[in-house]
Amino acid sequence: MSKALIVWGGWNGHEPERVADHFRGMLERDGFEVEVSDSLESFADAEKLLGLDLIVPVWTMGRIEQKLVDNVSAAVQSGVGLAGCHGGMCDAFRENVDWQFMTGGQWVAHPGNDGVEYVVNVKHSSSPLVAGIEDFGVKSEQYYLHVDPAVEVLATTRFPVVEGPHSPNGPVDMPVVWTKRWGVGRVYYNSLGHVADIVRMPVVTELMRRGFLWAAEGKHEAGKAGTGRREAYSGMADNQL
């Protein structure tokens, strides 16, 4: 049975406990053994992390000890999947650039705050993570992020929708969903999920479900390729499934 760890906390405005509970139910329905924790000390046992298939952070802002980030990073480099959404993964631990490097991006703004109506444009490619999913609208925060150019972008949104100092730069397509590699581990991110009701939208739930399964499967695929769990970098440059 695949094992997942969900760690929730930080800013309560993102309803981390409710989001974590929704993710727990999703993963259990897909056959995962799930541990849910409200403490960052869950990242302290490096050996335990190496035995997981998936880590799901649901923690906005706050601070984290460098050793805990190092433990998560080592686990992901070994093949453990990392997957999350919104501020729970890419607006966590703003002072820790190692976390940002691993996750692939960092929130910097949400022009118009909550309640902005915008479209998520799905990029149809060879990735099965968005197969059969069409463009869809959402009313929520529209995340403007600083994004790692190494990510594979699976969905975008067009800025500006709300006018602001960024508007004179002209239209830009901002990544909403992406994947990347960290060592031999798989990383998945979806910027939707300001509150639990957004995560519960059927299309968002399905995107997250696929992302969880894809990220967790990376450990099995690394093992089939003969990669030892402590070998961090094995030339996995291809960003496809």
Given 3-state DSSP classes, what are the helix, strand and coil percentages for the chain, each rounded to the nearest 5? Answer: 35, 30, 35
The domain that holds 158 is classified in CATH as 3.40.50.880
Residue 187 lies inside a defined structural domain of this protein: yes
Q: How far apart are CA 165 and CA 12, in angstroms?
A: 29
Per-residue model confidence as pLDDT tens for the chain (241 residues): 999 999 999 999 999 999 999 999 999 999 999 999 999 999 999 999 999 999 999 999 999 999 999 999 999 999 999 999 999 999 999 999 999 999 999 999 999 999 999 999 999 876 899 999 999 999 999 999 999 999 999 999 999 999 999 999 999 999 999 999 999 999 999 999 999 999 999 999 999 999 999 999 998 888 877 644 444 443 333 333 4
Contact 146, 106 (CB under 8 A): yes
Residue 240 lies inside a defined structural domain of this protein: no
Burial label, 65 (beta-carbon count in 10 A; 0-12, 13-18, 19+): middle
Residue 112 lies inside a defined structural domain of this protein: yes
Task: Determine the residue type at 218.
Answer: G
Residue 142 lies inside a defined structural domain of this protein: yes
Residue 241 lies inside a defined structural domain of this protein: no
What is the domain extent for residue 104?
Answer: 3-224
Structural domains in the chain (count): 1
Residue 183 lies inside a defined structural domain of this protein: yes
